[in-house]
Amino acid sequence: MLLIAVVAFIGVVLLLLVVIWSIRRHRDPRLHIECSLPVDELIPTLAGLTLSTAVAGNSVEIFENGAFFDVLLQAIQSAQRTVHFETFLWKEGVLGQRVADALSERARAGKRVRVLLDATGSRKLGKAARRQMKDAGCKLVFFHEKTLRNIGVLNDRNHRKLVVIDGREAFVGGHCIVDSWLGDAQDNEHFADLSLGLRGPIVNSVQSAFSENWVGQTGELLVGDDVFPALEPAGDVLIHAAYVKPEGSAPAVKLLHHTAICVAHKRIWIQNPYFIPEPEAIDAFGDAVSRGVDVRVMMPSTSGSDNPIVQHASHRNFEKLLRCGVRLFEYPHTLLHQKVMTIDGVWSAVGSSNFDDRSFETNDEITLGIRDAATARKLDAVFEKYAPQCREIKLEAWRKRGPWHKLKDNVFYVINELL
């Protein structure tokens, strides 16, 4: 009887897991496109496919490495009405204390400070910083905490990194609140990363992304000029934001990246720390190369990555990518954490999204699509800055890597969606 009860219990648990998976899974159609127009003529299409609207009249500034935080903290300290802060990874340390101090000071000054942190990524926030912000009056909320009512969404993480000041200035990118993001990528203890400073009507879209998760976690509706003011043009850059993740449909960030790859005419340059493309993406890269597109991908090597297991999972598809004509570059010195893709020197994607199943299928992410040749040039210059220190992977040499390396690549690839 005991054996029957144990078997029945295991069966019920497995059935529940299958039910939860089937409820939470997204449809995964095989994407295909027939289009000959260049990417800069397809902005309404890219925006429409990702359930957003392209807005003109914006300015964009690029901030690299630890210098970003000087700008960010100054912006927080200048807030007159509201500060909305959302991130995935926050660990106790020097940087965490600086950010907690800035947010706390604004809250004590009577400004509305809302902080949304992923419960898993920010589990090492530290009790002191948590207490400090709450005591100061910050509204501090954790996304998908480990509770019974969240059992169906525990694998869904909030990976966005964004800040909105007074509804008029926004920051979007890859920077995390960890001491490793300070400095200037000078060694393996200091990472490279990139974020954007934004002004103009696109700030309303970034605010909408924050509002989406804030309402979902708290029920508080954000209304009025403090959060959604009428915004005048601040430049001449056209931008659209991809962040929605509809139930039963492919997430916007996946559609955006795939479509852009399929319509590239000249070149696709990618900088991403976790590059594990799905088979259909590899085919799209191969099709691009056959059209004469220069496809290059820069990522950290296992020695530079903060998670070598992920890089080994990435290695599993290197041979197919190389056979397709994709050029692969590994940076050995530290983690390159920027998430950037430029197309044809005129359009760019920048945000929080890694190039893997977890970002494209599961996480909450945000990526900005930017039509502006000057911005694309600056982002390509970042690629070119790190490229001389990279090792370019060559097909014949790669095929000769050892059996132990190959075994790790294939084993870790099996669990790539969980990494």
The domains of the chain, with CATH numbers, are 33-52+243-419 (3.30.870.10), 59-239 (3.30.870.10)
3-class DSSP state for residue 32? coil
Read off the pLDDT of residues 354-401 as tens digits, 9 standing for 90 and up: 999 899 999 999 999 999 999 999 999 999 999 999 999 999 999 989
Give the pLDDT of residue 14.
Answer: 75
β-pairing, 112-118 with 139-143? parallel
3-class DSSP state for residue 56? strand
Residue with tokens 């020695």: 303
> Measuring CA to CA, how many Å separate 146 from each of 141, 275, 417?
13, 28, 20
Report CA torsion sign: 216, 201, 55, 66: negative
- Separation between Cα atoms, residue 24 and residue 206, nearest integer Å: 25
Residue with tokens 């009405």: 81
Q: Which of 118, 193, 344, 356 is catalytic?
A: 344
Answer yes or no: 161 catalytic: yes
Give the pLDDT of residue 121.
Answer: 96
- Separation between Cα atoms, residue 155 and residue 358, nearest integer Å: 9
Q: Which of 91, 111, 245, 339 is catalytic?
A: 339
Half-sphere exposure (Cβ direction) of 35: Cα atoms closer than 13 Å: 18
Residue with tokens 């397809």: 42
- Separation between Cα atoms, residue 39 and residue 261, nearest integer Å: 9
Answer yes or no: 339 catalytic: yes
| 275 Cβ contact partners less than 8 Å away, ≥ 6 residues apart | 297, 299, 314, 354, 355, 356
Average pLDDT along the chain: 93
> pTM of the prediction?
0.92
| CB 214 within 8 Å of CB 222 | yes
pLDDT category of residue 17 using cuts at 50, 70 and 90 = low
Residue 345 pLDDT greater than 70, yes or no: yes
Q: Which of 159, 254, 258, 333 is catalytic?
A: 159
- Separation between Cα atoms, residue 119 and residue 89, nearest integer Å: 9
Of 418, 299, 274, 296, which is closest to residue 355 (Cα–Cα)?
274
> Measuring CA to CA, how many Å separate 267 from each of 124, 135, 169, 326?
40, 51, 31, 11
* Ramachandran class of 417: left when φ > 0, alpha when ψ lies in -120 to 50, beta otherwise: alpha
User: CB neighbours (10 Å) of residue 282?
Assistant: 16
Report CA torsion sign: 414, 419, 356, 179: negative
Q: Which of 175, 337, 357, 364 is catalytic?
A: 337
Q: Show the DSSP H helices in 109-148 as ranges.
A: 127-136
| CB 340 within 8 Å of CB 382 | yes
Answer yes or no: 254 catalytic: no
DSSP letter for 136, please: H
Q: For residue 316, what are its two tokens?
A: 């599993």
The strand ranges marked E within 234-332 are 237-242, 267-271, 294-300, 327-331
Q: For residue 120, what are its two tokens?
A: 């898993």
**Percentage of residues in the chain having pLDDT higher than 90:** 81
Q: Which of 161, 240, 245, 315 is catalytic?
A: 161
| CB 131 within 8 Å of CB 101 | no
Read off the pLDDT of residues 238-284 as tens digits, 9 standing for 90 and up: 999 999 988 778 899 999 999 999 999 999 999 999 999 999 999 99
3-class DSSP state for residue 162? strand
List the single range of 150-154, 186-190, 220-224, 407-411 with lowest mean pLDDT: 150-154
Read off the pLDDT of residues 53-97 as tens digits, 9 standing for 90 and up: 999 999 999 999 999 999 999 999 999 999 999 999 999 999 999
- Separation between Cα atoms, residue 306 and residue 191, nearest integer Å: 9
Of 153, 229, 182, which is closest to residue 68 (Cα–Cα)?
182
Q: Which amino acid is at 330?
A: E
DSSP letter for 27, please: P
Torsion angles phi and psi, residue 297, rounded to 5: -130, 130
DSSP letter for 166, please: T
Read off the pLDDT of residues 292-313 as tens digits, 9 standing for 90 and up: 999 999 999 999 998 889 899 9
Selected residue with higher pLDDT from 235 and 145: 235
Answer yes or no: 139 catalytic: no
